[in-house]
């Protein structure tokens, strides 16, 4: 049928959940048997979010092919199970870099390079995924970050306008807005939506479908009003009420016919509504998982989005184990040997989070010592694993000054050291060990039990430092085993202390690979141990 294109934009305010709506559309079309991908265009000038502080941008999500991306790609993968790539996350910075590199090569043959048409042409090329080989897709869903009216997003809107004109019925525009409830007037207000649509129309884009985010149910009268003021069919005005869980959104959208409206706009016969059986089974399980399991999240970013994929991985693994994961953020900067017992009191298990730099690491070491000596299930991820290793060196191997070369390049006991291939790198952006690498598991280990029967797995990485193999035999002898190794470079990817209930650290980030229908085996095993 040829590829169809869906553009998702947002208006009124940010944080409306465009990523969740885009992921839901992807899921619903997939359930109808279509081959789909979802991509995100972000209007900032950074090449990727890899160098951004999580407080700026939330978690940095990593694709299998090693691109550092926006956290919405995590939603796309968790909802659809699709593996995204570097082609699915584009920024203004990357667009400009491509154009400027081309200009320096002389490819433009003396022309003046301008936002229109050169930047917009490059945006369109990427929206159409012209540089992706061997890809046969029925739908490409393109989400544009930011809010209508932003100066930054203007070239993206212009690209969408042109593409819609060129593609005709093969393109659909979905616009997400907000309908606020004014308590004093006891009224839901559609004016911001009308303004937002006007703004979009001013850019030459008539939305085909409106998704109205709302905290209260919108009756038909309000939907009719929006439809007639915004030139949109009534059946194309869909409401997205607050849901107890983001995973309810796809079925809620399906109930209101969002996917059917998209198909109708394109001119594809709608046919029967797919049953979404496994998804609904999951929701059923979620509904029944009421017993709480308290998990401590030891990290330094007190922000929901900073550890998004870890949180979702715990939620999902919890649901599949019939419990509701109650995640307690514990700021590692506040943890001391005297208060650690109190800080972690009541936790069935502890996650020691990834991170960079000195701030907050001593608290992570103290937490790792406490959970190791009290046999509390502990899962260290990336920097978290490195802190488990350092703690073990200081308190079991007797190297009081053990550290990571990242924190103290002069330390005599650099149990975590910079990887050889990293030593001559001076650029910060995109130069870490990134993306999926093989890991061979040691049969019989607890980590292997989780992944069983696989002996060779692939997980995603994002780090510069690693376990120093010069200390490996000392660790082994003292009871911390290396149970996952990269077969090509002999890097230690997983450590565990088998004498404890569950004390595992991974140099990789398993959280990126959890999906709704396939919770991650390590998180499953960790949650089971916590229960």
| Three-class DSSP labels, 177-232 | EECCEECCCCEECCHHHHHHHHHHHHCCCCCCEEEEEECCCCCHHHHHHHHHHHCC
**Stretch binding ligand GLN (CB under 6 A), from 124-132, 316-324, 457-465, 517-525:** 457-465
Q: Which of 57, 511, 520, 530 is catalytic?
A: 511
311: left (phi over 0), alpha (psi -120 to 50) or beta: alpha
Q: How many CB atoms lie within 10 A of CB 321?
A: 21
Q: What is the dihedral of CA 169, 170, 173, 174, to 10 degrees?
A: 110
HEC string for 70-97? CCHHHHHHHHHCCCCCHHHEEEHHHHHH
Residue 530 bears catalytic tag? no
Q: Which listed residue (60, 236, 382, 530) is catalytic?
A: 382
**Contact, 251 vs 238, CB < 8 A?**
no
3-state class (DSSP) for residue 441: strand
68 assigned to active site: no
Using rule CB under 6 A, residue 406 touches ligand GLN: yes
Interface with ligand GLN includes 308 (CB under 6 A)?
no
DSSP alpha helices (H): ranges in 296-412?
308-320, 340-343, 361-373, 383-392
Say whether the peptide bond before residue 316 is cis (omega within 30 degrees of 0).
no
- Binding residue count for ligand GLN, defined by CB under 6 A: 10
Q: How far is the CB of 474 from ligand GLN (least distance, A)?
A: 21
We find the least distance from the C-beta atom of residue 468 to ligand GLN, in angstroms, to be 12
Task: Give the binding range for ligand GLN (CB under 6 A) out of 105-113, 128-136, 354-362, 487-495.
Answer: 354-362
Q: Pick out residues in 377-396 that bind ligand GLN (CB under 6 A).
A: 382-383
Task: Using the rule CB under 6 A, give the single segment among 175-183, 248-256, 334-342, 462-470 that binds ligand GLN.
Answer: 462-470
- Residue 325: strand, helix, or coil: strand
By the rule CB under 6 A, 463 interacts with ligand GLN = yes
- 8 Å CB contact between 7 and 172: yes
Q: Does 415 bind ligand GLN (CB under 6 A)?
A: no
Rounded to the nearest whole angstrom, what is the least distance from the CB of residue 432 to ligand GLN in the complex? 6
417 lines the binding site for ligand GLN (CB under 6 A): no
Residues 356-375 that bind ligand GLN (CB under 6 A): 356
User: What is the nearest approach in angstroms of ligand GLN to the Cβ of residue 354?
Assistant: 3
Q: Which is nearer to ligand GLN, 85 or 404 (CB)?
A: 404
- Identify whether 187 is a catalytic site residue: no
Distances (CA, A) of 288 to 79, 250, 281, 321: 20, 19, 11, 11
Indicate which residues carry an active-site annotation: 382, 509, 511
Q: Which residues are near ligand GLN by CB under 6 A?
A: 354-356, 382-383, 406, 462-465
């Amino acid at each position: 049928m040829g590829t169809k294109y869906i553009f998702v934009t947002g208006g009124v305010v940010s944080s409306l959940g465009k990523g969740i709506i885009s992921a839901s559309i992807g899921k619903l079309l997939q359930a109808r048997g279509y081959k789909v991908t979802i991509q995100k265009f972000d209007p900032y000038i950074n090449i990727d979010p890899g160098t951004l502080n999580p407080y700026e941008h939330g978690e940095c999500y990593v694709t299998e092919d090693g691109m550092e991306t926006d956290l919405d790609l995590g939603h796309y993968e968790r909802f659809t199970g699709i593996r995204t790539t570097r082609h699915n996350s584009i920024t203004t910075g990357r667009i400009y870099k491509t154009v400027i590199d081309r200009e320096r090569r002389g490819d433009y043959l003396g022309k003046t390079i301008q936002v229109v048409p050169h930047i917009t042409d490059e945006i369109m090329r990427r929206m159409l995924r012209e540089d992706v080989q061997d890809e046969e897709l029925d739908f490409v869903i393109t989400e544009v970050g930011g809010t209508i009216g932003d100066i930054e997003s203007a070239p993206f809107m212009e690209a969408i306008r042109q593409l819609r004109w060129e593609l005709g019925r093969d393109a659909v525009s979905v616009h997400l807005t907000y309908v606020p409830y004014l308590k004093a007037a006891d009224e839901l207000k559609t004016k911001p939506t009308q303004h937002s649509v006007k703004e979009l129309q001013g850019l030459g884009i008539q939305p085909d479908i409106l998704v109205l985010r709302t905290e209260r149910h919108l009756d038909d009268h309000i939907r009719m009003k929006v439809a007639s003021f915004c030139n949109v069919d009534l059946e194309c005005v869909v409401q997205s009420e607050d849901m107890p869980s983001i995973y309810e959104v796809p079925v809620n959208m399906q109930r209101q016919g969002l996917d059917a409206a998209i198909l109708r706009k394109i001119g594809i016969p709608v046919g029967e509504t797919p049953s979404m059986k496994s998804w609904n089974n999951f929701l059923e399980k979620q509904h029944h998982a009421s017993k709480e399991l308290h998990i401590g999240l030891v990290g330094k970013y007190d922000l929901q989005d900073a550890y998004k994929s870890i949180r979702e991985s715990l939620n999902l693994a919890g649901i599949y184990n019939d419990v509701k994961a109650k995640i307690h953020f514990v700021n590692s900067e506040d943890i001391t040997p005297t208060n650690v017992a109190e800080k972690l009191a009541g936790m069935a298990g502890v996650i020691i989070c990834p991170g960079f730099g000195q701030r907050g690491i001593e608290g992570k070491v103290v937490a790792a010592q406490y959970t190791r000596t009290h046999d509390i299930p502990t899962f260290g991820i990336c920097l978290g694993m490195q802190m488990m290793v350092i703690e073990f060196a200081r308190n079991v191997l007797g190297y009081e000054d053990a550290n990571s070369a990242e924190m103290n390049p002069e330390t005599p006991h650099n149990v975590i050291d910079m990887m050889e291939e990293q030593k001559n790198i001076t650029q910060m952006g995109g130069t870490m060990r990134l993306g999926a690498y093989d890991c061979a598991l040691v049969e019989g280990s607890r980590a292997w039990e989780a992944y069983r029967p696989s002996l060779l797995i692939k997980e995603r990485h994002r780090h510069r430092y690693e376990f120093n193999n010069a200390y490996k035999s000392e660790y082994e002898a003292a009871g911390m085993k290396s149970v996952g190794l990269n077969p090509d470079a002999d890097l230690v990817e997983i450590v565990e202390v088998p004498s404890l209930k569950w004390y595992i650290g991974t140099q990789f980030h398993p959280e990126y690979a959890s999906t709704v229908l396939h919770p991650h085996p390590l998180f499953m095993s960790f949650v089971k141990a916590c229960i």
